[in-house]
Every structure is written in C-alpha cells, then in structure tokens.
A and B are shown apart, each in its own frame.
Chain A
Amino acid sequence: MSTDVTAKSPAPVPPGWSEPGDDGGLLQLVLNGLRRNMRQYGMLIALGLIVALFAVWTNGDLLLPRNVSNLVLQNSYILILAIGMMMVIIAGHIDLSVGSLTAFVGAFAAVLTVNHGIPWPVALLLCLAMGAVAGALQGFFIAYLGIPSFIVTLAGMLLFRGLTEILLQGQTIGPFPNGLQNLGNGFLPEVGPHTNYHNITLLLGIVLIAAVVWQEFRDRRRQQEFSLDVLPTRLFLVKLVALGAAILVLTLLLASYKGAPIVLIVLGALVVGYGYVMRNAVFGRHIYAIGGNLPAAKLSGVKDKKVTFYVFLNMGVLAALAGLVVAARLNAASPKAGDGFELEAIASSFIGGASMSGGVGTILGAIIGGLVLGVLNNGMNLLSVGTDWQQVIKGLALLVAVGFDVWNKRKSGS
C-alpha cells in the first residue's frame, strides 16, 4: 500500500503534539486547532448546531431581531447565576440555595422600594450586600466548619424560600420603580440621527470589535517578546475574523430592534471580568488548585478555607444580582420566583464543561452551557412544544453533553 511509506517515516507524533506547521492547508490548520481544544470548542459547535437546527425548524423566527433580544433578556439571570455556579463547581462544591436566594433578594428589593420607598440605587446596593451576607454565611459553614456544601446550601434553599414567604406574607409585591425595571427590561438609550439601526449599540459593537482585535494583537506581541510560540499567522487571522464576525452579527441583530439590553451590558462586563479573574488572578488560580487536588493545594500553601469562603460570598452577590434582574423583569417580587434556577445554573455549568470532581471549567463554558439551554427553551417555545416535553429534552441534552465529555476524556486517556 502507498500509505506504508509514510507510516515508516519518523516516529508517529500523537495528535495534538505536533506543531501546526504551515504545510497543511488553511482548513487543516483550523481542524488541527479544533482537535487540540475539543473540550473547549465541542460545546461551541454544539451550540452552533442547535441554533442552526432551530433556525431552520422555526423558519428563521429564532434569529429575528426581536427574538434574539428576548433570548438575551429571558436567559440573563440564569447566565449570571451560571458564572458564580461555575466557580463554585470548579472549587469542588455545589450551591443549591441560589434559586431561593434570588427570590429572597427580589422580595427584599420589593419591601425596600415599594413598601418603604427607598430610592432604587440605594436599594440595589443593599440587596447586593444582603446577597454577600447570605453567601458569606453559607461560606463560613462550608469553609471554616467543614460542613459539606450540599447540606449547607440545601438548608439555605429551604431557609431562604421560607424567609421570602415571610417577607412577602404570601403576596406578590410590585410594581418596581422605573430605574430598577430597566435592569430587567430596559435597553440602552438612543441618541443621534435616525438610522435603521440603534446608533449606540452599533457604536458599542464597533468599539468592542476594535478592543478585541487590539487585545489579541497585544497578546501576540507580548508572547513574541517573551520568545514564546504563537499561533501561525493564518490561523491567527482566521480567529480574529471569526471573533469579529460573531460580534458584528450579534450587534446588527440587536441594533435592528431596540438596541442592546442593559442587562446584556452588565452580563458582558461580568463575563469579561470573571473570565479574567479565573484565568489571570491569583485568586482564580487558587480556585482551580483547590478543586483539582485539595491536599496538594494545601501543601502548596494555598489558603483553601479563605478561597472557599470567598467563592461562596461571591455566589451570594451574583445570586442577589440575578434576583434583582428577575424581579425587575417580572416587575414584581413573588414567593415562587427563582424556582428551579439552581438546577438550571448547575446544568449550564456541566453542559459547559465543568466536572463533578472540580478543578475544571471556564466562565465562557458556563455561558455557552447556559445558552444551549436557553436556545433549547426559546426554540421549543417558538415551536409550541409543551413544557412537559421541554423538560424531557433538556434532561436529555444535559445527559448527552456530559456523556460526550466523559467519552471524549476516556478516549484521550486522561
């Protein structure tokens, strides 16, 4: 056979170990890059497929500007929770209390603004502080008293749900002041001449693209400065174009409706900020270290208790933010708000590549996981699938995603 000749030439290099030389075609380069980062790109590709499928099935309704805008608004609070949940899971823990905590904070906000007429910015800060206190309390029990997080947060789940009902006395309280409503439903204000697009959103999109390109180039230059390997030029350009195109499409979609939702800006800031912390901050590294191998982290001088404590405190703050968004979006605080949110956030994290045993996962992964669930939800709603079948399909999606992950890991033998 003709392949024998190549088979005998130098020792076979295991996949992913070879330098991506410029000998292959562009497609080859892209495929190599993908294969090397299967774990990261797998779910992104799955998300793309799901979007494409539902776009076809709904005759394009899924990608109508109004629906994309809705999709963002509907899923924002789950995505906010998923960011915090991902960090909790990476640290090797779980938080079951976030659904109840969002309801509790929503109720707290309603009592402050509606019943007592406290100005909404003050109420917002108080609510975030309340979330921090709730998170710190649970974190204290988990980190310093060593009670398993499953149990502490299960208790928290019951406790905060009960406190919500006590605060609201079984009633639904609303409506919220306009300022707070905007957090859930508002869009960026419009200025400038009348075009077919939302000017500010368009501008923001262009700035964002510029920032991303600048950042990528700066990164590349620094890598070269330290004489480290960089992506081959062609692959680097492909990456830039792909990133830019993705942002541009989203921008145009949103700009042709009412513009960017305010909560999207908040969410974007959170993703960038937390992504940076998890990747580059000492604190983030320590979270991975304690989740990956706790005894080894301890013996390396990582202050594991302190890290765990702050991870839960942070989860509390994010849950409070999510609670404010939900309440603002519904324009009312209800005793039943946030029901099952913890499970959606947990599912998002696992679909997005987290591991039960901790130490693995990215903020972007949690967002992708959350979007997979969100698009499934939205798409099935458009297709008028009943909630019964929606549950079944979401359950299967979780199983398939994690199953794929496990299979992929076993195949690579790690």
Chain B
Amino acid sequence: MAGPVLEMRSIVKTFPGVKALSDVTLTVRQGEVHAICGENGAGKSTLMKVLSGVHPHGSYEGDILFEGELCKFGDIRASEQRGIVIIHQELALSPYLSLAENIFLGNEHARGGFIDWRETLRHATELLRRVGLDDHPETRVTDIGVGKQQLVEIAKALSKKVKLLILDEPTAALNDEDSGKLLDLILELKNQGITSIIISHKLNEIRRVADSVTIIRDGHSIETLDVKSKETTEERIIAGMVGRDLDHRFPERTAYQGEADAAPALEIRNWTVRHPIDQERKVVDDVSVHVRRGEIVGIAGLMGAGRTELAMSVFGRTYGRYDGGSVLKDGTEIRTKSVAEAVGHGIAYVTEDRKHYGLNLIDTINRNISLTALNKVARRGIVDEHEERQVSEGYRTSMNIKAPTVFEPVGKLSGGNQQKVVLSKWIFAGPDVLILDEPTRGIDVGAKYEIYTVIDQLAAQGKAVVFISSELPELLGMCDRIYTMAAGRLTGEVPRAEATQEVLMRQMTKDKEVSR
C-alpha cells in the first residue's frame, strides 16, 4: 500500500492539572480509512483537535507531518487550507440557512463581496450529488434529518478540497439506515482517493469500513492493528482498549451483604424515553434496574448509551419524552414528574455536567450547598443565614473543600472542589437514593480518592447509590453490581465477583442485532 500521508509523532498535550495526551504517535497511510478507538476520555477528540489546529501549534509538544511536510497549524483555517477537515460530533451547520449557503459558509463563491448565486447553486448541486443527496440546495438545513445533515457536512468538507477527512463519532446520533449510508459514502470517498480518520467505538462499524485501527488509552497510543487481518478480532480490540493496568486506587470496600428479600430502595421498571426532538428515536428502551439500601450499583456504557438520559428522565422528567415505565421507592410506585417530587421522595441526581447543570458558578459555596434544601435552614420562608453558614462550613470541613471561606464563588474552585460542593449540596438534601453521574469526571487523582471515600461512606450509612461512569476501573473498584447499557438498552448485569473490564466492554459494545 501507499506510504504515510499523515504522521503525528510523540504528541503531548496538557491542560491545567490534566495530561490529556501523554505520548501519542499516529501514522495514517495515503488512501486508507483509519479508525481510532478508545474509552471515553482516552484522548481521541483531543488528538483530533491538535491535528486540526483547534489546539494551535505551540500549545502541544511533538510534530505533525502531513504529506511529508512539517505542519504548524495556528487555527482551523490553516489546517483546512492543507485539506484536513474535521467534522465534529455536534454538527456545525446553521439551521436556518440553506444547504448551499451552509456548504460555502466562510468560503463563498463571491464577486466583489456579492454572492454569485448561479455558481453557488451549480456547485452545491454537484457536491450534494457526490454525497448521495438529491435535495434541492435551497432547502433549509432544519428541514432535513440528522442523517442528511451529516452528509451535508461532508459535502461542505468536499467543497474545501479535502484530502484528509476526520469524522468524530459520525454515527452516534444516526439510526441504522443512515449509519449504513454514511459508511458507504466513506468507502466511496476512499475510492476517490480521500483518506479518512474515523473515531468510533462501534466495533462492527470499524470492521466494516476501516483498514487499520489505532487504539488510544489514557493519553497513550497503545497499538495500531490491521483490521483486515484475521487476528484482529473484536476481542483483540477490546483488550487493547481496556488494558491491564489498574492504576486507580479505591477505598477498601466491604462487599454489600444485602437482604435480598427486602424491597429495593429504588426500582425502575420498563423505562422508555424518546428523544426530545427526534421522536422516532428511543433513547432509553425498556430498561429495568434496581438498587438496594447500602448498595452501590454501577451503570456502564459508552457515549450515547442512554445512561444520563435514563437518570435524568427518572429525576423529574428533566430529559426527553416519557414513553412508559414506572418508578418504585421501597416497593411502592411513586410519581417523579417534577424535580420537586423526586427530591421529595428522597432521590438525588448529581449531574455529569456540574458547570451547566449542577452549580450556580457566580454564587458562593454557601448558597450553592443550601439551595436544594433551603427549607431545612429556613423558618416560614425566611432563611436563617447563620445556621446556613454553619451547615456549609460543616461541609467545607468534612468534605475537605479547599477554599478559605464558604463565601468564595464556586466558579473560582478547581473541578474536584466544585464536585465536592455539588455532592455536599445533594447530601444536605438528605436523600435515600443518590444517582451519581460521572462523579469523578475531569478531576485529579487525589480528589477522586476523596470522592470515592465519600461514596463508600454514603453506602455504609445505608444510602442506595447508583454510580454512572465511563471509567471501567472505578466501576470495578466501587460497585457491588454493574449494569451495562448500549444504544438505550440494558445489555447486561454483572455481579462484582464476575465483573472484568473485558466482560463489561463486550456488553457495552453490543449492538442491537447481537443483543437480541
């Protein structure tokens, strides 16, 4: 086969406090489809951002060679000029502009500052045909489906004379039919000589389109495998993704000795939720799970598996459109149609996105902690400020929140300390069931250990804990039982004794056909 079109050598990228990429080397040959896979947070997207100039030259270490030349991209435009185009997971189309306008956005066919509509439409039609769309180029983007929008993104890339196309989880939001079309198109473009990098953790897709696959784990490139070779089985790829080393530390946990006959603290039965906009899609599909007092139950799954959607839809229907299922607390059915009801029944949901959904960043630690349970420090609607301050000072000490006083704005704290504030806030609400969504995302190892300890204590106090995480080691280290989800469905339930990363990863990457 042809020689390398792209070489990324020993790329190191650090963010304040976190090393996102420690040492990544990637070689992509001319004209191939190269897959990159790894767990969430392994560094795949960061690597592509380095390549495309989102993280400009100088903000990382290592060299990028494209077509044999050393490249120092200062921004996306620079990489696009060389023919490297990235299509992000979240589509970057302007919904109320037409397909043609979107395709040439920032790159218009214009004469003297005025758009040449004839040439625009002609060229757009041609590009749309190339990606297999026969929609009129003056259709608005919002009037076509997500699958077609993905194709428009590719048409836009083609208009920039793309040589290397990068697709970041292109099928995550697509149904099977649209996914199939998209994968066919990638193969078609390959025939036309366009090299592609596809980030995906759907192993069947990788097997279908990719020539080789590079596995990234914890910011390191582990290995590059030839997909067409007989030895590259799905198990082989999974083994590479999860690795062997468990370098996280967890508090000593005594395994849960539950009374199996007592009703679970929280039970969710046959829960089904549809996507808030795309009502055809079932984001959570007939899921039944339960958790007992004193138990920590994990939910594992990759991006788009429906874990957060499950939790949020149960917690006051804060996500999607409800389409059946019931929630039981201690054996009796309860209503959780609003957050207030859910909280009233002793359920707490600690969000995965603390900045957007968990905290009021411009307000103080004090006021963030008291918000959900203000009535506990208030009499007849009036907050007792002194008592409130005493409560939050208590959490500052017991949770080891590193701030001089509780009057610091939460926005000034580090991620780990912010997470401790969110946890304090929900512990103060006094729930029986805590649903923790990625409670250690984006925080350093030391703070992680502290948070694990808190979770362990909560379970020891008889709280029921649901632990949603993408990091398999922490689920294995903390949970008594682990559910796995894929594409909105429950694909397995593994007790602590039988759980290994390989078992979980296999269930997490199960596709619909397989699970049936």
Contact = CB atoms under 8 A, between A and B. Distances in A.
Given A292-B363, A299-B351, A303-B340, A223 B386 contact: yes
Contacts of B339: 298-301
A204 B382 CA distance: 27
Contacts of B411: 414
Contacts of B351: 299
B393 A228 contact: yes
Contacts of A303: 340
B360 interface: yes
A228 B362 contact: no
B119 interface: no
Nearest to A224: B386
B387 interface: yes
Interface stretch (B32-40, B61-69, B176-184, B367-375): B367-375
A359 B410 CA distance: 14
A288 B386 contact: no
Given A226-B390, A228-B390, A293 B367 contact: no
B356 A285 contact: no
Contacts, number: 94
Interface in B340-366: 340, 342-343, 349, 351, 356-363
Interface string A215-248: 0000000110111110000000000000000000
Contacts of B228: none
Interface stretch (A26-34, A258-266, A276-284, A387-395): A276-284
B378 interface: yes
A226 B389 contact: yes
B interface secondary structure, majority: helix
A17 B390 CA distance: 19
A189 interface: no
B356 A293 contact: yes
Contact of A299 (B318, B378, B383, B385): B318
A360 interface: yes
Interface in A283-317: 283, 285-286, 288-289, 292-293, 295-303
Given A17-B404, A301-B340, A414-B411, A295 B356 contact: yes
A276 to B, nearest CB: 8
Contact of B367 (A17, A226, A283, A288): A288
A226 B363 CA distance: 22
A370 B82 CA distance: 57
Nearest to B390: A226
B425 A300 contact: yes
Interface residues of B, number: 40
A300 B390 contact: no
A359 B389 contact: no
Given A298-B318, A300-B371, A303-B340, A281 B360 contact: no
Contacts of A226: 386-387, 389-390
A360 B362 contact: yes
Contact of B363 (A227, A301, A359): A359
Contact of B386 (A225, A286, A296): A225
Contacts of A292: 360-363
Contacts of B372: 300-301
A34 to B, nearest CB: 16
B174 to A, nearest CB: 26
Contacts of A228: 386, 389-390, 393
B382 A281 contact: yes
A288 B360 contact: yes
A281 B338 CA distance: 23
Nearest to A223: B386
B381 interface: yes
A297 B378 CA distance: 18
A225 B389 CA distance: 12
B340 A295 contact: no
Given A281-B382, A285-B367, A288-B367, A297 B389 contact: no
The 5 closest A-B pairs by CB, nearest first: A292-B360, A301-B339, A293-B360, A300-B372, A301-B340
Given A285-B371, A285-B374, A288-B360, 14 more contacts: A279-B385, A280-B383, A282-B375, A289-B371, A292-B361, A293-B360, A293-B362, A296-B356, A298-B318, A299-B315, A300-B371, A300-B425, A301-B372, A303-B340
